[in-house]
Chain A
């Protein structure tokens, strides 16, 4: 079951600190388009984030058959996923687990908040979670 998915983490200063193509059908030529769609969705997220106190914002935008889902943390870090699946519970669980991983990165005293996440361990784990939940 091939699906496309692109996942980015945007810090509170609107700087992407992590990007990954996590779909099981790697489409290298469309990767830049995925990134573009996700960045364009940031404006919508900005407006939507203040209307609710929930963390999981579900689907905020659609592009063709791709959907952007967003999860906002209390520190206003946005976890954004571009996907074509409709498994909302799976996506929510995915976000929650990545949130926990992200907090572990944050707890590293040598990690400068707002800088790129370069840990390969984090990358491996996120891809494993994507295979599991998406």
Chain B
């Protein structure tokens, strides 16, 4: 079913999408831009999960679905699997990717010459800026994961955290109905309704 596209095109589209939403559409409202990007990711994740689960049997429980995300889904998207999966057995999952593919092309250097192409303002990137800048790029994959899991029957909230580029502690899944508690790190709180 699929045709192939060069990976640089994918990188380009994502960079331009983040740049467009952050700097042009909602330049004064970064939270709104983040929500829109995450919503785009949600729909993409929904579609991708349906596509990648076509050939395989359905999932018996939530853990299997999460493992599918960590292995098959991640390899389809990023050509590698999740490096580390932790859980507190109460609905919180921490996925850790030590080399997050979509962040490897982003360089935040101190010198203005090497500013990443999608960063349009010419201010010097401070560490604070860098973190905010890269966190914008993480909303899309968070949305993808949330869309995929929601389609597989697990409503959740996903957040991401980066320690140092390009290692990235990947999304924490909040499987929480209604309440969205603030997260210190990536933790998922899950209250089963079954």
Interface, chain A (partner B; CB < 8 A): 12, 49, 53-55, 72-76, 99-100, 103-104, 106-107, 109, 113
B50:A75 contact, CB within 8 angstroms: yes
Cα distance A106–B46 in the bound complex, in angstroms: 9
Main secondary structure of the interface of A (DSSP, over half): loop
Cα distance A54–B60 in the bound complex, in angstroms: 10
Interchain CB contact (< 8 A) of B54 among A12, A53, A72, A100: A100
Interchain CB contact (< 8 A) of B1 among A72, A104, A109, A113: A104
Within 8 Å CB of B43, what residues of A? 109, 113
Question: Which of A54, A75, A109, A113 has the most chain B CB atoms inside 10 A of its CB?
Answer: A75
Within 8 Å CB of B47, what residues of A? 106-107
For chain B, residues 27 to 68, give those with C-beta under 8 angstroms from any C-beta of chain A: 43, 46-47, 49-51, 53-54, 56-60
Cα distance A74–B43 in the bound complex, in angstroms: 16
Cα distance A118–B57 in the bound complex, in angstroms: 28
A75:B1 contact, CB within 8 angstroms: no
B58:A74 contact, CB within 8 angstroms: yes
A100:B1 contact, CB within 8 angstroms: yes
B46:A99 contact, CB within 8 angstroms: no
